[in-house]
Chain A
């Protein structure tokens, strides 16, 4: 690995290497659209770009090129990759939101996905015929049209932030580990409510979930027709959502970076390191903790709104404890308090779940169906219940245990933390 670091640190060879890997892997994906390895290489090349010492303007434009142009093009070749990329984007935003609460403020939130659910249900209820079940038709007609979506993106931020505030208010006096359990309970409460509030008033339609949810209008479609680019909504919507998610992730990263270096971010870190000392230094504990909860929640809220519009269908199953821990393991893997870490963690974990585990499942199934014999064991006898795709928990568990024991600061530790911990 040392030769690679040495190579990446020298501007000339690094630029060459990055350009080569990006172009090679893009061609590989274009020519072998079904190859998992080609797509993983493409992702790897973006990571390489991040680490390599390249002139800043070139780095930025290459980043824009890969994420803004190459990825959508490759996405039209294999639609699933675009879906993966969009999911990665959603989880990056969630991980960045949780990173504020857990990484910066040091408050372990085990029910984070509840805020995501709040955002998702906010749009789902009003962007579908669901709201018509408890609001009279003479007042407003539901579903609201897709244009309202943009209003609800903002509304999602606000509603989720209010929920974060409301959760924070009673639990702030609790110590770290109790706080974790209470947030866990809160997450479960939100899920149970979503599951059961189909009576006495039908708010959430219970376990059946809500569908169809309106999608934002394709306002640019007339422009495309004028330009002579024929495109149907089935092609356009995934691209549209990808772009939307990319945009929001950009905003979230920007907000995160500004917050980190502001006096608020410093106050959060002071609270994380030592609550008593922070208070003695004049950090208003309650206000700062509430702010952390509300900030983290609002990122999840936005993504919830987008998620519900993208999926067209949501039910409580998408918002389980498993999801909360998934997002937590992303933050832990990347490094608590580290923005690049959260991004990397979210990408690795999502790709692992959506692609590697699923790929293993498919591969195992093919082996089973082909009935290959290895060392006298006929693979057709493999138990049918053995599906690697279902073992997300094992992955999350592994990540959490190993990271805590061997590298608690994460893969890409926050700069301030590296300085504190020295070479460790």
Chain B
């Protein structure tokens, strides 16, 4: 085994892991916030994430078709993409809650979960249907923005693209904004109150339905932002892209302790790093017998192990048994 190679690629892997981790963290927030207030796995969150990516690519392709892509600063374009993606995903999340989850509130646990799986599948094909009619293609590629693809070369093995820095910066900004909303504002307090105890919160004059909608709105916006950043970072998207990142993000949320917002951020980072290291080192360490293709199994195994041995997650929030 070539130890020097292992050490040489370490910083690059670390960086990839951090980017991936922020992506997971942003998506995981949607799962964890909804779970916090409703104790319900919003299975359709992965499609809410994908919608953000598709809104982003549509705007970019639209600008490109009009030859305006290079007219603006790429950072301005990116802000536009993020805002549009967040708005679209947030609205979708709220609509989905209104249509498919609210009528089922109070039903046995599995009923809304099955409905959510239905929404997830329906939305995948709805996006595909729309893109098939609109563009006659549903595997789309983010157009490149030259300035974002500039790379800083540090050493032979380490380079950072502007894109990656932007993705990290945007993710940090989002997480910070969310932190402010949840912990420093009145609505944030209301969200925490509803998560704590719905009945008591409503007795205190909090409109529980509005707060639940708001939770979906914020979670959806984070998912939409993650979708845009995913597209910018990895370029290739299709309507089914969301499934695996969604599952991983859920894993991240469970890892950090579901219902726990800082936990989701931490779980996302931990999972991203673990996955990046597994993807690059597994093959090197096992002499090529097992390679990067096992990184998904790796993530699922973590999920299963966490659920079995520490279902509260690393930053455990107590999960109550509902009789």
Contacts and interface: CB of A to CB of B under 8 A. Distances in A.
Contact of B308 (A170, A189, A329, A386): A170
A323 interface: no
Contacts of A329: 118
B48 to A, nearest CB: 14
Contacts, number: 137
Interface in B229-255: 243, 247, 250, 254
A408 B126 CA distance: 24
A321 B243 contact: yes
Pick the most buried of B124, B125, B247, B301: most chain A CB atoms within 10 A of its CB: B125
A173 interface: yes
B307 interface: yes
Interface residues of B, number: 51
Contacts of A401: 100, 115, 118-119, 122
B110 A106 contact: yes
A399 B131 CA distance: 23
B104 to A, nearest CB: 6
A175 interface: yes
A188 interface: yes
B110 A192 contact: no
Contact of A182 (B125, B138, B307): B307
B133 interface: yes
Contacts of A192: 293-294, 296-297
A200 interface: yes
Contact of B304 (A170, A180, A386): A170
A7 B52 CA distance: 54
A171 B303 CA distance: 11
Pick the most buried of A173, A177, A196: most chain B CB atoms within 10 A of its CB: A177
A188 B125 contact: no
A226 interface: no
B161 interface: no
Given A173-B308, A383-B132, A404-B112, A188 B296 contact: yes
B121 A177 contact: no
Given A171-B304, A178-B311, A408 B111 contact: yes
Given A189-B297, A321-B243, A385-B132, A400 B304 contact: no
B300 A404 contact: no
Interface string B207-243: 0000000000000000000000000000000000001
Nearest to A199: B289
A189 B297 CA distance: 6
A185 B303 contact: yes
17 contacts: A106-B110, A108-B110, A108-B113, A171-B308, A177-B40, A181-B250, A184-B247, A185-B300, A189-B300, A328-B117, A385-B136, A386-B132, A391-B128, A396-B118, A397-B123, A401-B118, A404-B118
Interface of A: 106, 108, 110, 170-171, 173-178, 180-182, 184-186, 188-189, 192-193, 195-196, 199-200, 276, 321, 325, 328-329, 332, 383-386, 390-394, 396-401, 404-405, 408
Interface of B: 40-41, 100, 103-104, 107, 109-115, 117-126, 128-129, 131-133, 136-138, 243, 247, 250, 254, 289-290, 293-294, 296-297, 300-301, 303-304, 307-308, 311, 319, 321, 323
List the 8 closest A-B pairs by CB distance, nearest first. Answer: A400-B118, A397-B122, A397-B121, A394-B125, A185-B300, A401-B118, A383-B136, A385-B132
